[in-house]
A and B are shown apart, each in its own frame.
Chain A
Amino acid sequence: MGLRPAVERVAARAPVPVFAVAGAGAQAQVDDLLLQPRLHLVDSPAAANVLLIAGSVPAHLAGELARLHDGVSRPRLSLWWSLGSSVAPPMPPAVEVLDADPSVLVEAVVDTHRRLLFGELTSSPPVLPDEEPAPWRGIGPYGQGGTGMTGGVPYGRPMAEVAPDRDGLRLDQLTVRIGPFFARFPTGLVLEVQLQGDVVQQAHVVVAPEGEAAVEVDVPTTFRDALNTPVPVSVLELERARSHLRSIASALVAHQLPSLARRVLRFASNVHPDQSEDVQRLHRLLRRSQVLGWATKGVGPIPSDQLEGTATGPVARASGVDQDERTTDPAYLGLGFEPIVHDGGDARARMAQRLAEAGQALQLAGRAGDRHHDPEASLESPRGRLAVGDLPAQRLLPLLPAVLEGMEWGDAVSTVVSLDLDTDEVLALRSPDRELPVP
């Protein structure tokens, strides 16, 4: 005694390592937690003590959520930040926070962690039963579960098998499903990739089976409301700028610049119509940091001819497709709106496109006065054309297999990040055969 309580007292004042799962309707709020100095958002559950589940996580992810929970380091607890959702997570959390105010959440997380350290709360026990992935003990000549050089299930799992590759070697191919809680992907996105070394040989998107209770995309957002009711153009455009800036912030995190991401997030949360020069300054900063430079140049190119019938929005415009639903809206025409188009079609062009559009959106918001958009015209969301039953994510995801093929893993992650997929939309996707529905 003596030393340990002292260490625990000091530890209770440290930034709390949190693994955050952003469920439906919670992505923006979870992204903003990066601004909280008393939380430390981590990418891997091993580094975390608190599992934060925000918004609603659909029931079909129960197994994965349980496995994630069991991977969190002890002492651990899970905490649910409801954010207006009434559907509790499929795994009962120890603590619930009903208030949407982030400072209340931070208080709760810090307090939970402190009580966990002081033994007032007990570390949550493993959810999954203590079962080996496959029975192996005592099997085989050495009791390791295998036979021969490559047979059996040594220590519970089989070994990988060889497959041909483009450089003529036949080496092991690892088929893994990455997601649905991979920190760089939106929650719910599961990529089944075949890796040889660090190169993606094949990737495909696994979708939740039909019939699973859907998290309806009924989480109200400005753009979903705008489908039915007229919304002031200034409100829409401010929201667009915010969304684009958030997307840039998560790209910055993926490119290992969390500090700059904080700067962008702070900008996004206080965004104001007369800040378009700040966007210029941000552009210079991103160029200098090479996020809009060699870090993304030539990564994940999507030529415009691949885009027919698939992506719309900034992804399409970054590939040189001059198409924007706002040009059909009389309110925007009155403002002299002209779509911005970049060419290049790579991750860099997509990020530059979003930054330019954020600046444009701020200008439009400043000039819009009290104009309202026309709910009859089709709606351009920050991720492309939005209509009932026509979600941008559904148009973006089919691009992934072709783009990711043959890509180094780091570039593959940059590419997925550059598509700016919406968590709510990804969580809503269903298909009968778990394959992506063809748009």
Chain B
Amino acid sequence: MRAYLDPGAAVVSVAVAMVVGVYVVAVIDGTAGRLAAGAGRSDLGAVLLDPLRTVALLLTQRRRRTERADAPGWALAPGLLGGLAATGLAVVPVGPGTAVADPSTGFVVFATAIAFVMIAVFLHGWSPNSLFPLIGAYRYGAQALSLQIPFLLAMLATALPAESLAVMDIVEAQADLWNVVRQPLGLPLYLMVGVGVSFWGPLNLPDGADLIGGTSAEDAGTDRLAWELARAAMLFSIAAMGAAAFLGGWWGPLLPGPVWMALKTLFLLVVMVSSRHLVARVRIEPFVVACWAVFIPLALVNIFVSGALLL
């Protein structure tokens, strides 16, 4: 029997977690940005409050349409992205036997959520019928298709010791040894892909600065708000899964399991979010070649080496 909450409780707990997670992403981003900018004294009030004020500001800004836009697609895209982030978050267990949803194919469900991100981003860029969003959409197509296989391979390696595709079992199997030790290549690959999937920082190619905002270039007001919320939620849900699959989830001394889970998620969030202030935008074409010619072979090496060590 696998752990799950009834739908009402599931919705409430994921909603709370997502709101907290999105806010934490914004605060980490503000802090990392100020540190990277080398601003003398840091203004804690602004770091904590500016995200909320920006939400309010975007609520006051009028939405905008472009001529002959695909309005339903435009409306659906951020919703789809947010729904995928929430689904990804739902399958991550927070403690032994405690999960919003722990299907026996939890890992495949998470991978499905990641795969559908490309549909959401493509839809978001296609809908405005505008050049820069369109280029962003197609660019993300290349990026996501190339990222998909390394992502699945890096994640799949964690299923080997667990002998199961359920995320709960994957965490259980790390009682003695975390996967980050067992498969040292796995976590860096996963984080790279995670940053790429939530198109953040160096891998923010669809919404890049060279496309003056790319798929969200035509977004105003709540369009932009929903899109940014969904993107931050995606980042959060990827960090949570990374903590569960590679950093041993709830395992840890002294503190209760869920606290460990939160700390590890926070750690991965800091790593992923601050990449935005440390690394420059990647060029799409060399990146695609690198994914196929370097990251896929590396991910395969990771699988086979960790597999051979298991036997």
Contact = CB atoms under 8 A, between A and B. Distances in A.
Interface of A: 7-8, 10-11, 13-15, 17, 37, 40, 42-44, 46-47, 49, 73-75, 117, 133, 154-157, 174, 176, 182-184, 195, 197-198, 252-260, 262-263, 266, 288-291, 293-296, 299, 408-411, 413-414
Contacts of A14: 50, 53-54, 56-57
Nearest to A288: B278
Contacts of B282: 294-295
Contact of A17 (B57, B62, B131, B201): B57
B218 A259 contact: no
Contacts of A7: 56, 59-60
A212 to B, nearest CB: 26
B37 A260 contact: yes
B46 A37 contact: yes
B280 A44 contact: no
A260 to B, nearest CB: 6
A42 B228 CA distance: 15
Interface of B: 32-34, 36-39, 43, 46, 49-50, 52-54, 56-57, 59-62, 64, 67-68, 131-132, 135, 138-139, 201-202, 204-205, 208-213, 217-221, 224, 276-286
B208 A256 contact: yes
B56 A408 contact: no
A44 B53 contact: no
B218 A46 contact: yes
Query: Which 8 A-B pairs have CB atoms at the shortest separation, nearest pair first?
Result: A14-B53, A259-B36, A262-B37, A43-B212, A295-B280, A10-B56, A413-B210, A73-B220
A132 to B, nearest CB: 8
Contacts of A255: 209, 280-281
A174 B219 CA distance: 22
Nearest to A183: B212
A322 B279 CA distance: 32
Contacts of B61: 17, 49, 73-75
Contacts of B36: 257, 259-260, 263
Given A7-B59, A15-B50, A43-B209, A408 B285 contact: yes
Contact of B279 (A290, A409, A410): A290
A47 B224 contact: yes
Given A43-B209, A259-B33, A408-B285, A11 B135 contact: no
5 contacts: A11-B56, A15-B53, A43-B209, A43-B213, A410-B205
A300 to B, nearest CB: 12
Nearest to B133: A44
Contacts of B52: 10
Contacts of B217: 43-44, 46
B277 A259 contact: yes
Contacts of B67: 133, 155-157
Residue in A7, A252, A259, A263 with the greatest tally of chain B CB atoms within 10 Å: A259
Contacts of A266: 37-39
Contacts of A157: 67
Contacts of A15: 50, 53-54
Given A46-B220, A117-B60, A259-B37, A410 B208 contact: yes
B64 A411 contact: no
A260 B277 contact: yes
A42 B216 CA distance: 12
A176 B131 contact: yes
B37 A293 contact: no
B212 A410 contact: no
Given A47-B219, A295-B280, 6 more contacts: A182-B212, A183-B212, A259-B37, A290-B280, A291-B280, A409-B211
B270 to A, nearest CB: 15
Contact of A11 (B53, B212, B218): B53
B276 A256 contact: yes
Contacts of B132: 44
A15 B26 CA distance: 14
B62 A74 contact: yes
Contacts of B209: 43, 184, 253-256
Nearest to A417: B210
A37 B43 contact: yes
B219 A46 contact: yes
Contacts of A37: 43, 46
Nearest to B62: A74
Contacts of A46: 64, 217-220, 224
Contact of A47 (B131, B135, B139, B220): B220
Nearest to B139: A198
A73 B221 CA distance: 8
Contacts of A47: 213, 219-220, 224
Contacts of A42: 213
B283 A410 contact: yes
B143 to A, nearest CB: 12
Contacts of B221: 73
A295 to B, nearest CB: 4
A100 B74 CA distance: 42
B212 A299 contact: no
Contact of A198 (B54, B138, B213, B218): B138
Nearest to A197: B138
B224 to A, nearest CB: 6
Contacts of B138: 197-198
A260 B123 CA distance: 32
Nearest to B217: A44
A64 to B, nearest CB: 15
B286 to A, nearest CB: 7
Contacts of B276: 256
Contacts of B32: 259
A4 to B, nearest CB: 8
Nearest to A133: B67
A295 B285 contact: no
Given A37-B43, A73-B62, A184 B212 contact: yes
A256 B212 CA distance: 11
B135 A289 contact: no
B283 A295 contact: yes
A10 to B, nearest CB: 4
A42 B49 CA distance: 20
Contacts of B284: 198, 408, 410
Contacts of B211: 409-410
A184 B211 CA distance: 9
Nearest to A154: B68
A257 B204 CA distance: 11
Contacts of B281: 255-256, 295, 410
B54 A257 contact: no
Contacts of B62: 73-75
Nearest to A136: B68
Nearest to A265: B37
